[in-house]
Amino acid sequence: MIIQRVSNNADANKVFLVCINDEASAAWVAGGAVTLQADGTDDGFAAIKLASAAKASLLLGVADRATTAGTVGWVQCYGVRTDAVINQAGTASNANGAIGDVLIPWTASGAFSGAAAGAATGYSPWAVLMQTVASSTAVATTTGSIFLRCM
């Protein structure tokens, strides 16, 4: 675990885990959701993109940068993240995402999503939207600010 030292700028108060990308061939996307790989092999060290909605509760955090399969990378698990990948069509009415909305990892794109795409009301607020995100009538992603507390 890497705990960033306190400073007087936006980089303060962040915590990172060191994990290996346990995907067969897929790279983690910077700002994309990363979950624990619970397969009995490298439990607690290996991580993957979300494989199924049933495993959304294994959220570790957000990939700090693009990380190829089989290599070690950082996963931010606490603090503000300004480049998180966010699904823009994640609510039933395609309403805009609002500050404070609970987000969950979404299997279709490795992004974070709101209520309808993953029933966010059933999850603890591990990831919370920190800005308004415009919706889209088609499935699209954008990047934006979220607050993580996956510890």
Summarize pLDDT for 99-111 with one digit per residue, the tens: 888 888 877 677 8
**Residue carrying the six token digits 């700090």:** 64
pLDDT at 47 over 60: yes
Cα–Cα distance measured from residue 148 to residue 29, given in angstroms and rounded to the nearest whole number: 17
Q: Which residues pair with 63 in a beta bridge?
A: 75
Is pLDDT of 68 > 90? yes
Whole-number average pLDDT of the chain: 82
Tokens encoding 112: 């974070």
Q: pLDDT, tens digit, for every residue of 9-23?
A: 666 789 999 999 998
pLDDT at 117 (0 to 100): 45
**What's the rounded mean pLDDT across residues 26-38?**
91
pLDDT at 62 over 60: yes
pLDDT band at 27 (very low <50, low <70, confident <90, very high): very high
Quickly state the pLDDT bin for 93 (edges 50, 70, 90): low
Helix (H, G, I), strand (E, B) or coil at 115: helix
Query: Whose CA is closest to 104, among 96, 113, 92?
Result: 113
- Residue 120 confidence (pLDDT) above 60: no
